[in-house]
Homo-oligomer: A and B are copies of this chain.
Amino acid sequence: MAEKTSTGNFFEDFTLGQTITHATPRTLTSGDAALYTALYGSRFAVQCADSFAQKIGYACAPLDDLLVFHTVFGKTVPDISLNAAANLGYADCRFVNPVYPGDTLSTTSEVIGLKENSSGRTGVVYVRSTGRNQHGGVVLEYVRWVMVNKRDPESPAPETVVPELPETVPAELLGSAVPPLQIEGYDTTLAGAPHRWGDYTPGERIDHFDGITIEEAEHQMATRLYQNTARVHFNQHSEKDGRFGRRLVYGGHVISMARALSFNGLANAFHITAINGGRHVGPVFAGDTIFAWSEVLAREEMEGRSDIGALRLRTVATKNRSCLDFPYKAGDATFDPSVVLDLDYWVVMPR
């Protein structure tokens, strides 16, 4: 019987160069967009209003970038991380084409690195995952690495290959999901704030002020919407005896919450064009209240584009602690115990 039920891949099941076509292509619709709004309350005008998006040159309001990310990511879980002990990191994540309601997304992954841990019980798998639309066009690409359990600690270790990954996505690769814009049609009043790209300065820090409490039903509905099957988010019967005694909130849910909160202070950062790296610093549970703040790390022009410019941001999310005083690291390395997310990414803004 066991051969019909999938219990996921173990470290030994991955080989360098292996390509995996993940199951269940998914048509995203205005229904998913509405649910996304209900889950996070995001208010970026380009994604919320067809009329606003069309006035600047989109076919209609594109779907939220993180809805696209979570959908593409969710498909990889049954093959890559069902037996993961930890999600270690993301890198080189680029949003390549816009996604509109009605588009169907599917995902493939390539194994680009393998490294057994010294314990012999786990290993790190590096995959480059690619999301494509129904026309075969790439919409999203990213690398993640995950610590995966071995089925058998005695099985031999593969040759160690650790891919070289860019610390940041270079500015020349940004913005490809944004069509050429009639930026004079961009109404900052309707968008929610007057501050354009040029108004932000590297080093500037912004408290996003509000806090939102997460409920079990919310993160479960979100994570199922993304068809992410990681068990730790759904099964209280087993988690009550697990590491935390309770269900863990999907890290991507926290990213989306922080992004929605960041509207207050970054209202014109209408598109995430790349994610340089991200760490889920601490676990989040239902009942936790998420706050966020951001720092401008860099401001870059984009080749051939006078309509938009790029800002590199660090957004930090905390739980159960206001971000008025920008909590981050205590000393050089240790995070403030309230910090749950440290995300380094590029947004675009109208110039």
Contacts and interface: CB of A to CB of B under 8 A. Distances in A.
Interface of A: 1, 4-7, 21, 23-27, 29-35, 37-41, 43-45, 48-52, 61, 78, 101-102, 104, 106, 134, 189-193, 195, 200, 204-213, 215-218, 220-225, 227, 229, 231, 234-238, 247, 264-267, 287, 289, 291, 320-322
B45 A25 contact: yes
A294 to B, nearest CB: 9
A195 B4 contact: yes
A1 B236 contact: no
Nearest to A45: B24
A264 to B, nearest CB: 6
12 contacts: A21-B189, A24-B43, A24-B49, A31-B33, A31-B35, A50-B134, A106-B190, A210-B231, A211-B234, A212-B234, A213-B216, A236-B287
Contact of A29 (B33, B189, B212): B33
Contacts of A52: 25, 104
A106 to B, nearest CB: 7
B190 A24 contact: yes
A23 B215 contact: no
A26 B42 CA distance: 11
A34 B31 contact: yes
A299 B127 CA distance: 40
A321 to B, nearest CB: 8
A328 to B, nearest CB: 15
Contacts of A195: 4
Given A210-B234, A224-B40, A26 B5 contact: no
A225 B48 contact: no
Contact of A34 (B189, B200, B211, B225): B225
A27 B5 contact: no
A236 B213 contact: yes
A218 B35 CA distance: 12
Contacts of A210: 229, 231, 234-235
Contacts of A78: 192
Given A38-B225, A210-B229, A213-B236, A43 B31 contact: no
Nearest to A321: B237
Given A27-B49, A102-B50, A227 B21 contact: no
A221 B39 contact: yes
A267 B23 CA distance: 10
Contacts of A5: 206-209, 264-265
A13 to B, nearest CB: 16
A44 B45 CA distance: 31
A315 to B, nearest CB: 14
A62 to B, nearest CB: 12
Contacts of A61: 27
Contact of A23 (B7, B43, B212): B43
